[in-house]
Amino acid sequence: MGINPGFIRLVRLAARALYRDLPIGSAGQTSEVLDTLADFGPQWVREDDLAKAVDMKRKKLNPILQFLVEEKLIQREIPPESKRRKRMSSATAAASEREGKVHVDSHCCLDYSKVYDVVRDRIHAMIEKPKKEMNTQQTVQLYLCTYCRKSYSALDALQLISSKDDDFHCERCDKSLVAVEDGDANGSRNAKALAMLQKMEDDLKPLSSLLQELKCVPIPEFVTMQDWRSGPTYDNNVDAVTVTPIPLPENTDVETSLHASASDDRLRALPPWMIKNDGLHLTEEERKCLATKLSVNRQIGVKSKRRDV
């Protein structure tokens, strides 16, 4: 299944513009991981192979992959056959688990079905942050008494709270104080937030334009690992289990016969319960054989009764 090149380009641009410094401490390697996964397209990748491609140890790669899973950009899965652990003693297995040395052949894949929404939501959150800073409550620098024109700092006004109405009152005339905003501080803060917003919009303009282009393009479907492994792009020599068919014998026909063979000279006696059934017709030879068997059974029964007496 092919992926629209626009979505692959979207991953590359988002890696450089949004995830260069995330998560904290990744040193810009998250964007490199995303860029490498974009090279593989929609196919699943062994995480060991991914670590070699980005020249990174699995210990450092795991937290980055976990962060991308939380961002809903990738999915991770463990094939059923790789869940089987190597034979080892119970003591060795427990020690390996405590040290985190148990090797699991896990795979990961970009979830192109969610890339568009994730990138759009993150851009929206980044732009809203400076806007909120511009719309926050203004900074109060002074409190002024409109009656006697005495002014108080914000720290001094805390000591002038009245128990009558919980408001600030002048210590000279006991009139309510009026807050005076600091225009210079508010203006400086708004100017910084506006400059940050303008720079952010300029940096994200290529990404925003690409999102607008892909707005009417069908979202790619996510291919599960099971479907991908059963598809034509999967290399059976990597993880597939080879099954050797067992040859069957050429002649498998079985002949059955419900009648006795003609070469069998001896006629088997029928059990008594068959004779009692209605509609059963016996030949003369079968009757003689049955009579002989019954007489022998009677003689054995009489002898056994005499012995008991």
Q: Is residue 253 part of a domain?
A: no
Note down pLDDT in tens along the chain; length 309 residues. 578 999 999 999 999 999 988 887 788 899 999 999 999 888 899 999 999 999 999 999 999 999 999 999 999 998 766 655 544 444 554 555 455 454 567 999 999 999 999 999 999 998 888 877 776 655 556 788 888 888 888 778 778 887 778 788 888 888 888 877 655 555 666 777 788 888 888 999 999 999 999 999 999 999 888 888 887 655 554 443 333 443 444 544 444 444 444 444 444 555 555 555 444 566 677 677 766 766 655 555 544 545 554
Same structural domain, 284 and 295: yes
The CATH number given to whatever domain includes residue 197 is 3.30.40.10
Q: Do 289 and 153 sit in the same domain of this protein?
A: no
Residue 75 is part of a domain; what is its CATH number?
1.10.10.10
Q: Are residues 151 and 216 in the same domain?
A: no
Which of left, alpha, beta for 164 (phi over 0: left; psi -120 to 50: alpha)? alpha
Residue 52's pLDDT is 94
- At 3 the pLDDT is 84
Q: Which two tokens stand for residue 10?
A: 């979207």
* 62 and 178 fall within a common domain: no
In a domain, 163, yes or no: yes
Instruction: State the total domains in the chain.
Output: 3
Q: Are residues 71 and 170 in the same domain?
A: no
Residue 93 is assigned to a structural domain of this protein: no
Whether residue 150 sits in one domain with residue 175: yes
Residue at 158 is within a domain:
yes
Say yes or no: 26 and 167 in one domain. no
* Whether residue 179 is found in the same domain as residue 212: no
Residues facing residue 98 across a β-bridge:
none
48 lies in the same domain as 108: yes
**What is the model's pLDDT at position 110?**
95
State the CB neighbour count (10 A cutoff) for residue 118: 16
Buried b (16+ CB within 10 A) or exposed e, 213-224: ebeeeeebebbe
Q: How high is the pLDDT of residue 213?
A: 94
Q: What residue numbers bound the domain in which 63 lies?
A: 5-85+99-131+206-229
Residue 237 lies inside a defined structural domain of this protein: no
